[in-house]
Amino acid sequence: MTVHVIGAGVAGLAAALALVRGGQRVALHEAAPVAGGRCRALPDGTDNGTHALLGANRAALRFLVQIGAREGWVEPEPGGLPVLDLENGSARRVALSPLGWGDAARRPEGVTLGSLLALLRLALPGPDRSVADAFAHHPKLLRALVEPLTVAALNTPVGEASARRLGAVLRRLGGKGAARLLVARQGLGPDLVAPALATLACHGANLRTGSRLRGLVQEGGRVTGLDLGEAVQPIGPADAVVLALPPWEAVRLLPDLPVPTRHAPILNVHFNRLEEGPVRFLGLLGGLAQWVLVRPSGVSVTVSAADDSVGLNDSEAAARIWPEVREAALRFGLPGDWPVESPPARAVRERRATPRHGLNPPPAPPRRPLPNLALAGDWTLAALPATIEAAIRSGEAAAAALLSAQARQAVAA
Ligand SMILES: Cc1cc2nc3c(=O)[nH]c(=O)nc-3n(C[C@H](O)[C@H](O)[C@H](O)COP(=O)(O)OP(=O)(O)OC[C@H]3O[C@@H](n4cnc5c(N)ncnc54)[C@H](O)[C@@H]3O)c2cc1C
């Protein structure tokens, strides 16, 4: 049997790896010139956007081990996240997990018995409401911790974001080491996509780029062919397909699928600042910049849920963000030169970075809508927000669904 995996984003790479490890022959098709999807290196090596993982992302960390890339992901701030509040000038290190708040110095502003209870209530069943409503009586904790976490994890403004979905994220931060924040030391190319492709190639699974699936040929309720433009790739009775596509592509090919239709942008601004030094990660409150990743190869700034700023041109974005970055770098004593004038910068705009995680999400789609076709993609898991973790779990679930169907068929035969 050959399994054709369509889409070489993280979900497709994870599906392909699980399938080759399960003994299948895999062909990987990707429409773009490179693999990685929304988590990729641009032609100059810059990441399309900063990607952070947490210790709670067990599937993602296991995947990194499987592709031999775990060492490339480092914890830049083991002593707590340095956070500068640009409005009131306070600079502190904040523990992301409540387990670290026993130390008053690492507690975010606004932690009181009442606000802790509001956090705990997120974990309890009940009708869903927006994060802003859930913390209406705790504006300090909302501003200092809950809003930055919501925007980072759900990429949705707090007035719209689902408190239930945030509760699912926070529950996962409770375990030991779960709130450790990790970033790629060099970048998404060398620390994720390239090792994944190399591992797949070792198992005989090669990637065909520039290969866009235009349509599915179906007969008798099964996929019998893939329209790849130049030719139709026949799908034999023992073959199968994984669609590891973003929702708008999945629904184009299978129009009855329930898919999220509203997406939120992320703006990333990359400053060319070449300077040796450790990898650092800072948080900012009260400005445009939210997270700042400092690496020897440059400084990358993230603005999530960027509805209001994604339209800024490169120089406007750099002019607004650089003074904020510089102030934070100086306050936390980051080494090197931080000139008043912005270094050359460019903005990368991912307009459909993730689905919006609001109230009343569409139901999760079936994992195997056709007997020989399984779905993967960060949007296909109901429990998790659209992240690397969700993408990897979805890819592994799609592979498992096809492998167990194949095993059942073998027993029946
Ligand atoms: C700027 C940014 C920052 C982010 N930050 C984080 C973060 O810090 N932590 C985190 O965990 N997550 C983060 N995410 C989310 C994460 O990147 C995504 O959840 C994940 O990459 C989705 O992977 P996927 O494989 O499901 O989808 P995609 O990456 O969209 O992969 C789908 C692939 O299918 C290809 N394709 C599309 N149509 C076709 C077709 N017809 N035929 C063949 N191929 C096709 C696409 O080119 C793409 O390569 C961020 C996303 C963005 C954009």
Domain spans, the chain: 2-47+187-261+362-412, 96-181, 263-355
Average pLDDT over residues 336-357: 96
**pLDDT at residue 79 in the model:** 92
Name the 3-class secondary structure at 259.
coil
Q: pLDDT band at 117, cuts 50/70/90?
A: very high
The tokens of 4 are what?
Answer: 């054709």
Q: Rounded to the nearest whole angstrom, what is the distance from the C-alpha of residue 333 to the centroid of ligand 1?
A: 35
**pLDDT at residue 172 in the model:** 87
Q: How far is 23 from 220, CA to CA, in rounded Å?
A: 27
Task: Give the atom of ligand 1 at the shortest distance from the alpha carbon of 51.
Answer: 8
The tokens of 141 are what?
Answer: 């904790």
The answer to whether residues 365 and 246 touch, using CB atoms and an 8 Å cutoff, is: no
Average pLDDT over residues 39-58: 96
* Minimum CA distance residue for ligand 1 atom 46: 37
**pLDDT at residue 176 in the model:** 84
Q: Tell me how crowded residue 319 is: count the other CB atoms within 10 A of its CB.
A: 14
Q: What architecture (CATH level 2) is domain 2-47+187-261+362-412?
A: 3-Layer(bba) Sandwich (3.50)
**pLDDT at residue 71 in the model:** 98
Percentage of residues of the chain with pLDDT beyond 70: 100
* Minimum CA distance residue for ligand 1 atom 15: 387
Q: How far is CA 249 from CA 52, 69, 201, 271, 379, in A?
A: 26, 29, 26, 33, 12
Above 90 in pLDDT, residue 98? Answer: no
Q: pLDDT band at 293, cuts 50/70/90?
A: very high
Average pLDDT over residues 322-342: 96
Q: Rounded to the nearest whole angstrom, what is the distance from the C-alpha of residue 234 to the centroid of ligand 1?
A: 27
Q: Tell me how crowded residue 237 is: count the other CB atoms within 10 A of its CB.
A: 9
Across the chain, mean pLDDT equals: 95
Average pLDDT over residues 164-170: 92
Task: Name the one residue in this structure whose structure tokens are 């802003």.
Answer: 132
The answer to whether residues 11 and 377 touch, using CB atoms and an 8 Å cutoff, is: yes
Give the contacts of 410 (CB within 8 A, at least 6 positions apart): none
Average pLDDT over residues 31-60: 97
239 ligand 1 Cβ < 6 A: no
39 ligand 1 Cβ < 6 A: yes
pLDDT in tens, 253-286: 999 999 999 999 999 999 999 889 999 999 999 9
Q: Which residue out of 39, 149, 252, 375 has the highest number of ligand 1 atoms within 8 Å of its CB and is therefore the one to mutate?
A: 39
DSSP lists the bridge partners of residue 374 as 242
Average pLDDT over residues 80-105: 92
More confidently predicted of 194 and 231: 194
Q: Rounded to the nearest whole angstrom, what is the distance from the C-alpha of residue 38 to the centroid of ligand 1?
A: 3
Task: Give the atom of ligand 1 at the shortest distance from the alpha carbon of 252.
Answer: 41
Q: Tell me how crowded residue 21 is: count the other CB atoms within 10 A of its CB.
A: 14
Task: Give the atom of ligand 1 at the shortest distance from the alpha carbon of 214.
Answer: 41
Type and span of the H or E element at 329: helix 314-331
**pLDDT at residue 53 in the model:** 98
Lowest mean pLDDT among 9-23, 110-124, 138-152, 385-399: 110-124
Task: Give the chain's count of helices (H) and strands (E).
Answer: 12, 18
Task: Give the atom of ligand 1 at the shortest distance from the alpha carbon of 376.
Answer: 26
DSSP string, 187-231: -HIIIIIHHHHHHHHHTT--EE-S----EEEEETTEEEEEE-SSS
The tokens of 232 are what?
Answer: 């139709």
247 ligand 1 Cβ < 6 A: no
Task: Give the atom of ligand 1 at the shortest distance from the alpha carbon of 246.
Answer: 30
Closest CA to 269 of 36, 53, 49: 49
**pLDDT at residue 327 in the model:** 98
* Minimum CA distance residue for ligand 1 atom 41: 213
Task: Note the residue count of the chain.
Answer: 413
Q: Rounded to the nearest whole angstrom, what is the distance from the C-alpha of residue 285 to the centroid of ligand 1?
A: 27
Above 90 in pLDDT, residue 68? Answer: yes
Q: Rounded to the nearest whole angstrom, what is the distance from the C-alpha of residue 37 to the centroid of ligand 1?
A: 4
* Minimum CA distance residue for ligand 1 atom 5: 51
* Chain-centre distance for alpha carbon 303: 14
**pLDDT at residue 370 in the model:** 97
Q: Rounded to the nearest whole angstrom, what is the distance from the C-alpha of residue 320 to the centroid of ligand 1?
A: 28
**pLDDT at residue 302 in the model:** 98
Q: Name the amino acid, one letter, at 171.
A: R
Q: Rounded to the nearest whole angstrom, what is the distance from the C-alpha of residue 195 to the centroid of ligand 1?
A: 17
Q: pLDDT band at 385, cuts 50/70/90?
A: very high
**pLDDT at residue 382 in the model:** 83
Q: What is the CA radius of gyration of the chain?
A: 22
Q: pLDDT band at 173, cuts 50/70/90?
A: confident
Above 90 in pLDDT, residue 371? Answer: yes
Above 90 in pLDDT, residue 171? Answer: no
